[in-house]
Structure 1
Amino acid sequence: MSAEMPIGTLLDSSDPAYLRALKFNRHTFWCGQSGSGKTYALGVVLEQVMLHTRLPLVILDPNSDFVHLDTPQDSAPEDAAAQLSSRDVRVLRPGGEGDDQLRVRFVDMDIRSRAAVLQLDPVLDAEEYNAMLQIRSEYTFGDDRRLAEWLENHENPMMHRLALRLHNLGVLDWDLWAWGRHDVTDVVNEVPDATVIDLGGFDSAAQLQTTALAVLDQLWAQRHERTGRLVVIDEAHNLAAPDADTPLARALTERIVQIAAEGRKYGIWLLLSTQRPSKLHPNVISQCDNLALMKMSSTRDLDELGQIFGFAPSELLERAPKFQQGQALFAGGFAAEPQLVQMGARMTREGGSDVPIGIR
């Protein structure tokens, strides 16, 4: 396979269009308004990454759009379909069975993340926060189900208050916890070709955010191993909003901002997909060196993108409002030169879909 990945055809000449596989070692910002074909086009590129590189993918998938990345379509070229079928793709789902279950171990989460789940402030709730610091060193059962009972029976009254928080917030009732079993970080640590983390089946934003935070915390904790991963965050505004308003949302945003600022040197590269630049934290966008832009009608958003991504020619940005579905501007390190592209066809099955309207 070549380091040049075919993604479609050039809009102005119909010649093949390519992206540079080796330049995905930069953060990428992927943007396009609803209906632009953003998710479909992203799938085209992720398939090519799987075909042309050994770069492991970790995909945070809030709408279940990439859950069939392991299933080639009948129309896919035979050779490419065979290669995609041979890739090690793990799809983890809430309520899944066996190794497909999407689970998190609460007791193994970063202390600040556990505090965010319990809405604890290290200053305002100093005594409870300090008590939680003791849990990892004292709690030896490795089973989240027994945690509340252990806290209730502890001699420290602050532990009793932590148990009360767990019950009052309903945290132990979440269909999320691993109860001491295999969890999502174990799968990520096995470094498959792609780990698709289906966040679309959770009943609450808090469970989605907790899962994403557990994964990103683990990647950051192991950053010195310099494994090299492309972390794809679809609908990234749900995970890194500029106005995060809960402790959990703020903790998740702060972790993504930290990875955006420092992750590149450790081989943690972000690909962030969203509808509008204003929906994503500015300290994340400013760290991106690759731009993929699909249809964008807002002149304000286009002006903002022009200021952030000075390497994207203004005359090409100005064409974005007239893009048809599946058309995109690529600029930055992963494009030999700024180019307008008509995206090619997906080779694997799509996941999420629009709600149909019945015809009488």
Structure 2
Amino acid sequence: MTDLSIGTLTADPTVIAKLDARRFNRHTFWCGQSGSGKTYALGVVLEQLLLHTELPMLILDPNADFVRLAETRDSAPVEHSDRIAQTDIRVFRSGHQEGERLHVRYLDLSPAAKAAVLQIDPIADAEEYNVLLHWSVSATEFDTDRMLQEFRASGEPARVRLANRMENLQVLEWDLWSRGAHSVVDVIDGRPRATVLDLGGFDHPAEPKVAALAVLEQLWARRESRRPILIVIDEAHNLCSPEPRNAVERALTEQLVQIAAEGRKFGLWLFLSTQRPTKIHPNVLSQCDNLGLMRVNAPRDIAELAEVFGFVGEDDIRRAQGFTQGQALFAGGFIAQPTFVQMGARLTEEAGGDVVVPLRE
């Protein structure tokens, strides 16, 4: 068994707590309220997976907490620093941050996803949807200005309406689009050991969701290749809401529900991290076989966790209300029995972290 050392037992700090790396071929749910140390602890587990497995990881990172995953701390053992330094870790940034840009191709989206981006209903906007469905152009030849001119010059009312819609919504101006350049989808298809997508810097609120939808659609489309990948979604409630509010969110949630239900046999394994279980779509939450639980106080959340994760005693779950920062309960397939753990130290730099209150000197 390949063990991942993640900390020590809370009952006996001399005993190392370990997870079975092989059992990350199940969906994992990671939960803890703000201030519990959830994101820091998630980094501890991801570092161990980097060190002790060959499992590729896709990390959807809304707060840029993992953009320094390739940078080890001075306190890290030399052998770990060397190994991580030699690991293929790719980081793609959004907004105005330095680094490789996070781009996807609009043309690579499914017809339904393209329609969702443009707020087109296949029934109410049938003619525009039909134009979109049959529109074909090479990704390397795609030019937005020329496309809009051609649509308007065609004289076809549906094409003219579609051009007006694209321009009015300003969708084609998003920084997300590659505009004929490379797409992060191509990089993920090559399976680096870790691909971190910084989703937090976009100007339009739909862009991070469309970026996630683009990469998840392509992973699903190529599922028959059965090339395993761990899909890590931090602050997963942003992408997998039980009550999606618009067409893009519905498409994204439906894709995640499909991966949760059927992806395991194809090697598409979810690792969802969030503050509250009630914020995650129940059809995704119910498919998780591994649980990492940090401090949670809300009685409703405790009840939800006890109901969904029936392999853990309710008394054990209730202990999460008294956890201090960095304490966690692990249960499910990746550990022999429910175990209470004090998480260990990070090896790599955490890019996020709390803002300190300025004090008077």
**Which residue pairs with 1:252 in the alignment?**
252
Do residues 359 (structure 1) and 354 (structure 2) align? no
Give the counterpart letter for 1:263 in structure 2: G
Give the counterpart letter for 1:125 in structure 2: D
Give the counterpart letter for 1:271 in structure 2: F
**Which residue pairs with 1:332 in the alignment?**
332
**Which residue pairs with 1:4 in the alignment?**
3
Question: Contact 1:107–1:144 at 8 Å: present in 2 too?
Answer: no
Once the two structures are TM-superposed, the CA of residue 91 in structure 1 deviates from its matched residue by: 0.2
For residues 314-353 of structure 1, the aligned pairs below 5 Å read 314-353=314-353
CA 1:153–1:65: 2 relative to 1, 3 Å? same
CA 1:35–1:122: 2 relative to 1, 3 Å? same
> In structure 1, how many angstroms separate the alpha carbons of the residues matched to 2:328 and 2:44?
12
Question: Contact 1:32–1:274 at 8 Å: present in 2 too?
Answer: yes
**Which residue pairs with 1:16 in the alignment?**
16
> In structure 1, how many angstroms separate the alpha carbons of the residues matched to 2:145 and 2:87?
35
Do residues 175 (structure 1) and 179 (structure 2) align? no
For residues 90-101 of structure 1, the aligned pairs below 5 Å read 90-95=90-95, 100-101=100-101
Give the counterpart letter for 2:251 in structure 1: A
Decide which moves more: 67-76 or 158-167. 158-167
**Which residue pairs with 2:39 in the alignment?**
39
Give the counterpart letter for 1:187 in structure 2: V
Do residues 309 (structure 1) and 309 (structure 2) align? yes
CA 1:174–1:140: 2 relative to 1, 3 Å? closer
Question: Contact 1:56–1:193 at 8 Å: present in 2 too?
Answer: yes
CA offset digits 1:97-145 (Å, max 9, x no partner): 8971101111121111111100111111111111101112688823455
> In structure 2, how many angstroms separate the alpha carbons of the residues matched to 1:339 and 1:143?
56
Question: Contact 1:38–1:326 at 8 Å: present in 2 too?
Answer: yes
> In structure 2, how many angstroms separate the alpha carbons of the residues matched to 1:144 and 1:104?
15
> In structure 2, how many angstroms separate the alpha carbons of the residues matched to 1:110 and 1:88?
29
What runs of 5+ residues in structure 1 fail to find an aligned partner?
A: none
CA 1:143–1:194: 2 relative to 1, 3 Å? farther
For residues 195-344 of structure 1, the aligned pairs below 5 Å read 195-344=195-344
Give the counterpart letter for 2:249 in structure 1: A
Once the two structures are TM-superposed, the CA of residue 204 in structure 1 deviates from its matched residue by: 2.5
Give the counterpart letter for 2:112 in structure 1: R
How many residues align? The count is 359
Once the two structures are TM-superposed, the CA of residue 202 in structure 1 deviates from its matched residue by: 1.1
The percentage of counterpart residues that share the same residue type is: 55
What runs of 5+ residues in structure 2 fail to find an aligned partner?
A: none
> In structure 2, how many angstroms separate the alpha carbons of the residues matched to 1:48 and 1:292?
15
**Which residue pairs with 1:160 in the alignment?**
160
> In structure 1, how many angstroms separate the alpha carbons of the residues matched to 2:155 and 2:327?
63
Question: Contact 2:93–2:99 at 8 Å: present in 1 too?
Answer: no
For residues 71-150 of structure 1, the aligned pairs below 5 Å read 71-95=71-95, 100-136=100-136, 141-144=141-144, 146-150=146-150
> In structure 2, how many angstroms separate the alpha carbons of the residues matched to 1:39 and 1:79?
24
Question: Contact 1:103–1:183 at 8 Å: present in 2 too?
Answer: yes
Give the counterpart letter for 1:249 in structure 2: E
> In structure 2, how many angstroms separate the alpha carbons of the residues matched to 1:139 and 1:62?
27
Question: Contact 2:241–2:279 at 8 Å: present in 1 too?
Answer: yes
CA 1:160–1:67: 2 relative to 1, 3 Å? same
Give the counterpart letter for 1:6 in structure 2: S
> In structure 2, how many angstroms separate the alpha carbons of the residues matched to 1:106 and 1:349?
33
Once the two structures are TM-superposed, the CA of residue 157 in structure 1 deviates from its matched residue by: 2.6
Once the two structures are TM-superposed, the CA of residue 147 in structure 1 deviates from its matched residue by: 3.1
CA 1:146–1:176: 2 relative to 1, 3 Å? farther
**Secondary structure of 2:7's partner?**
strand
CA offset digits 1:252-299 (Å, max 9, x no partner): 111111111111011100001111011111111001000110001112
> In structure 1, how many angstroms separate the alpha carbons of the residues matched to 2:204 and 2:235?
16
